[in-house]
Amino acid sequence: MPNISSKAIQMPQSPIRKLVPFAEQAYAQGKTVFHLNIGQPDIKTPEQAIAAVRVADLTVIEYSHSAGFPIYREKLAAYYRKNNINIANEDIIVTTGGSEALIFGFMSTCDPGDEIIIPEPFYANYNGFAVMAGLTVVPVTATIDDGFALPPIEEIEKKISSKTKAIVICNPGNPTGYLYSKEELERLRDIVKENDLYLFADEVYREFCYDGAVPYSVMNLEGVENNVIMIDSVSKRYSMCGARIGALISRNKEVMSAALKFAQARLSPPTIAQFASQGALDTPQSYFDEVVEEYVERRNIMVEGLNQIPGVFCPMPKGAFYCVAKFPVDSTEKFCQWLLEEFDYEGATVMMAPASGFYATPGKGVQEARIAYVLNKESLIKAIKCLEEALKVYPGRITE
């Protein structure tokens, strides 16, 4: 039988989804499973998005422009300008999710064998996108003790080599919920400018910032206009994960021209989902005000509840809807599987994502797990109680 490719062998398994068979087994045993493992909000999609699909007068579902429908790009550019990000529609390529945007960005700017620096822990699929593009991820470690703030600049500078092509960040962050300050981003700008690197910023959680925090976009960094590439998506902002509409955004004309060739090769982003996304741009601010208020309440329930469990530590995130917690266990890989296979409390258990899969450095995050507080408040309270009771009986618990 012919061999599969080396890329297929290198392609990492998703730490978010790989425990699914054990969850299915738990369901078969009649357990309730509280899914804290995946960023699938239970928030309703805005009616404006649903209505835009309902009223679409279609006789043929045809291709769009490879860069996306011009009217959608124009409307999207207006959305950014309203949020003090001054870009034009020609600076935007609509993609099949933010994932495709980052893949196009990597392939347009990097050659196989190039290196990209990423603060870890980071969204696990960045590893997969790097494998697709033939790139090497060079991690620089952020720590839970300081809430996963940007590592010291000198630590980042140590990682730069002749093969380094880009720095990649997510802001607000998945999996940590950390929100980089303007000052931290300006430090990155200086490194990028000095070393002539690209700066990729995944800003898909822009609308979800808490406690009065205001996000600062990399598109507003001065002096690096041709170095900056922003990744965006409708998935989380409008609770439209299944729409698979994202955007690659840059003022660098050469990058956008190169990326368009990749976009042409895959023909076009999904037509009907672009209608929904265009409609979503009419969502009133009141929708986001309510959603942010709900997420703040969920965050507080989750983080405060976790920190009240003996031996558990979880920093308070400033954005997105994730947190990373440290547990007093031998391994969260083992703990998360045990929760599904062998544990229940009053017929329920919890599914989390082991954080080691969000690190590129072997041995990091072994006692940490990413938690998505995307369930209703009652379910979160029950999930915390499950974790508290589980830690009382887990055979691999570590006691100080």
- Distance between CA atoms of residues 261 and 109, nearest Å: 13
- Distance between CA atoms of residues 329 and 308, nearest Å: 16
Q: Which two tokens stand for residue 334?
A: 């083992």
Band of the pLDDT at 39, cuts 50, 70, 90?
Answer: confident
Listed residue (248, 229, 238, 249) closest to 273, CA to CA: 238
- Distance between CA atoms of residues 157 and 150, nearest Å: 13
Band of the pLDDT at 399, cuts 50, 70, 90?
Answer: confident
Per DSSP, 319 falls in state B
The structure tokens 């839970």 sit at: 144
Q: What is the pLDDT of residues 273-331, one digit of tens each?
A: 999 999 999 999 999 999 999 999 999 999 999 999 999 999 999 999 999 999 999 99
* pLDDT score at 12: 86
Determine if the pTM surpasses 0.75: yes
Strands 322-326 and 348-351: unpaired
Sequence letter at residue 84: N
* pLDDT score at 58: 85
DSSP, residue by residue, 79-107: HHHHTT----GGGEEEESHHHHHHHHHHH
Nearest 5°: the CA angle 21, 321, 115 is 80
Name every residue whose Cβ is closer than 8 Å to that of residue 21 and which is 6 or more positions away in sequence: none
Q: Over range 203-224, report the average pLDDT.
A: 97
Sign, Cα dihedral of 169, 174, 176, 180: positive
Cβ–Cβ under 8 Å, residues 130 and 136: yes
**Long-range contacts: 292-296, Cβ < 8 Å, 24+?**
292/207, 292/208, 292/209, 292/210, 294/43, 295/208, 295/210, 295/321, 295/373, 296/210, 296/211
Give the N- to C-terminal CA distance of the chain in Å, as an integer: 52
Q: What angle do the packed helices 47-54 and 271-280 form, to 10 degrees?
A: 140
Residue 400 has pLDDT above 80, yes or no: no
Band of the pLDDT at 239, cuts 50, 70, 90?
Answer: very high
Q: What is the pLDDT of residues 316-375, one digit of tens each?
A: 999 999 999 999 999 999 999 999 999 999 999 999 999 999 999 999 999 999 999 999
What domains sit in the chain, N to C, each tagged with a CATH number? 6-44+286-393 (3.90.1150.10), 58-280 (3.40.640.10)
Q: What is the pLDDT of residues 114-133, one digit of tens each?
A: 999 999 999 999 999 999 99
Query: 15-47 burial, b for 16+ CB within 10 Å, e for fewer?
Result: bbebbeebbeebeeeebbbbbbbbbebebebbe
Cβ–Cβ under 8 Å, residues 123 and 137: no
Cβ–Cβ under 8 Å, residues 115 and 165: yes
